[in-house]
Chain A
């Protein structure tokens, strides 16, 4: 176990290092710098001073060193566009909102996806199965940004039921969460259904039935526990999908989360903010994948972590 954890941890650090280097190279190969787009009236001398302040006049290798040092100390420095704020300030303000949106989304997707999947599997080929799976394929096929705009048009503009934008009350949270959760719900429902169908034909389910357990107990205690393993494996990927989904959802609903700062910083070529948010996002995501792996191994006693190294 310990060996496996250490191995995974090393890979995690390597991945973060790769993304940090990649971001650095990509950012500095963009033609132009943050000051060329900003204020055309600034004189040469002022520009030189600004560059010196942000170390942009140093050789690449020195800048790279400064960047790695800031990574190690988790201090990404000040934003170029909003000099009064540091990247950490922006992250601290945006991340809780994005995280709230993400947590609600994944919770609701898990609950509704698993429920739909189990119902569909129990009534295999029945009307519920048919409806649930049609909904699931639709859910996968409709991109979240389109669902979001349709929701705004119907619920906010036509029916005036819900507020169309921003993030200030539970009512404001309903539409973004629905828009973001539909895709993952559909994926979870399909996965749960197929693995439930497989599990329900197993001998231990027959045994449980034979010893007279109630159907509810069979489903919850014996079938579901095993059927949920595939769902756990794709949780990491789902978290990634939801994270990137938040970019566009936050933009449509004008939610002041991290996605907003990310997209803005790209348009403004705000190097420190781009590099900070990218690395933060990536590190978060990589850490989630790591967590999912550990949770999976705890749930499934058949997996011996230290043996997995061969694959």
Chain B
């Protein structure tokens, strides 16, 4: 081949020898770590900070939580009583988001709705988290026959149409906040349990776990230092994705009239009330609850995506 005969210096220019300097090998420094050692969460946080969309979502959620806690306290209006002469007012300086057909301030009701939606979302996610971690942890750690029986149960439950069961339960137990949370968690933990089990199964045979075992680490230390940090990533991601789906489910059920009952407000029930008003042109009754449901789901989704990327060791730079 032709290019075998070419000189190694392809730029056609000689590199002067004094460009190079020998480096003394310092055995003492061989073990030194080049960058500061970062804990798992610090590292993830550094990468999450790079993701502008995810940070925007996080910021929105923080503001939303603060507003849901404080806005109803400072609002001059009541959630359940309005002045009938103020029926269906368009947004104005006095009523920022307008009033509904009973003269109630939509802005105030919206923040009460935010409390309900966030509470349902967080409560459902937390209960899923605890049941899922225990069920999945036991199945994954024990393995063998225990695991296979537990997984058969999950397989049967997995096929159940989730929302159908929820609707049936609501009909039987009567609509209330408590029922909604029970109904949502009764099938909701399955996803979490599958994730935890998969993670634990995969991790418990890894070399570094065996290595700590050989070095005499206690089971508690292995779980805390080896298993949990590596399982937390997918679990946190799953939580951030469970919350919006619970919020969606609550809105969906309230929209069907099976959720939060009047005079209490949730975003779903407010959207349901707004549905009939839209034909008479009172757009704000539907628009604001719809906007907040969508924005919240959006914020949780981008935050979940961002966290997924941030926790992914393959994307580590």
New contact pairs (20) apart from A138-B294, A143-B294, CB-CB < 8 Å = A18-B156, A18-B157, A26-B168, A30-B172, A137-B298, A137-B301, A140-B301, A141-B297, A141-B301, A143-B251, A143-B252, A143-B293, A143-B297, A145-B252, A153-B278, A247-B256, A263-B256, A266-B167, A266-B171, A281-B164
Residue of B nearest to A290 (CB): B159
Q: Mark A208-245, 1 if CB is under 8 A from B, else 0.
A: 00000000000000000000000000000000100110
The one of B159, B171, B283, B297 in contact with A140, judged by C-beta atoms closer than 8 angstroms, is: B297
Of A8-16, A61-69, A94-102, the one contacting chain B is A8-16
Provide the bound-state CA to CA distance between A15 and B165, in Å: 13
User: Chain A: which residue is nearest B155 at the CB level?
Assistant: A11
Q: Report whether B275 and A149 are in contact in the complex, using a CB–CB cutoff of 8 Å.
A: yes
Quick check: B161 and A138 within 8 Å, CB to CB? no
Let me know if A23 is at the binding interface, CB within 8 A.
yes
Q: Chain A contact residues (Cβ within 8 angstroms of B): what range? A: 35 or more
B contacts with A, residue count (CB < 8 A): 39
For B152, the chain A residues whose CB sits under 8 A away are: 11
- Whether the pair A282, B161 counts as a contact (CB closer than 8 A) is yes
Bound: A21/B163 CA distance, A: 17
Please determine whether A145 and B172 come into contact, CB atoms closer than 8 angstroms.
no
A150 contacts the other chain (CB 8 A): yes
**Shortest distance from the beta carbon of B167 to any chain A beta carbon, whole Å:** 7
Name the residue in B155, B161, B301 with the highest tally of chain A Cβ atoms < 10 Å from its Cβ: B161
Please report whether the interface of chain B is mostly helix, strand, loop or mixed according to DSSP: helix
Would you call A29 and B172 a contact (CB within 8 A)?
yes
Identify which of residues 242-267 in chain A touch chain B, using a CB-to-CB cut-off of 8 Å.
Answer: 243-244, 247-248, 251-252, 263, 266
Specify which of A14, A26, A140, A150 is in contact with B169 (CB 8 Å cutoff).
A26
Inter-chain CB contacts under 8 Å: number: 109
B274 CB to closest chain A CB (Å) equals 8
Residues of chain A within 8 A (CB-CB) of B294 are 138, 141-143, 146
**With known contacts A23-B168, A153-B278, A145–B271 Cβ distance under 8 A:** yes
Residues of A within 8 A of B283 (CB): 153
Q: Which residues of B contact A278 (CB under 8 A)?
A: 164, 168
B302 within 8 A of A: yes
B248: Cβ under 8 A from any A Cβ: yes
Q: Which residues from A are CB-within-8-Å of B305? A: 137
Question: B156 near A11 (CB under 8 angstroms)?
Answer: yes
Instruction: Name the 3 nearest CB pairs between A and B, nearest first.
Output: A141-B298, A15-B159, A141-B297
Chain A window 98-109, contacts with chain B (Cβ cutoff 8 Å), 1 for yes, 0 for no: 000000000000
